[in-house]
Structure 1
Amino acid sequence: MARDSSKLTIRLSPEVVSVLRDLADSSGSSMTDVVKKAISDRKYFSDKLEEGNEIILQKPGESTRTIVDLR
């Protein structure tokens, strides 16, 4: 079964557009693909948090860690 797609128009600040362009350029993707990936990643991490997991960033070899809060 084919999925219908929807067109979405949003207003972004020039700073956010610049970041979006940079991410698209550095990954060789379109800005649309970068937004889709960001939404997918956000959903994944939100689901993991709802399951009771923590999202932790830690540099290799360091004991300091940062717990990420996506709320």
Structure 2
Amino acid sequence: SNYTNRSPYPMLHLLREESISRLGASEADLLAIPERNIKTLESIGLCQIRRMLARIQNPDAATDPRSTPL
């Protein structure tokens, strides 16, 4: 499975139809967004995604000289 629809915390996304319409994107453009997100995360790789999440969950570790480099 991919990480595009996961969050480390409960999250609610509110998108106003008017805001999306203002972008002028076609339906095909909008439907391509999830696929682009999946490809982007695949290119980043699971190890890097986990490192990024660890930094978010424990920001002090990134500045602690005793911590192992991520």
TM over 0.5: no
Give the helix-richer structure, 1 or 2.
Answer: 2
TM-score (norm 1): 0.31
Give the strand-richer structure, 1 or 2.
Answer: 1
TM-score (norm 2): 0.31
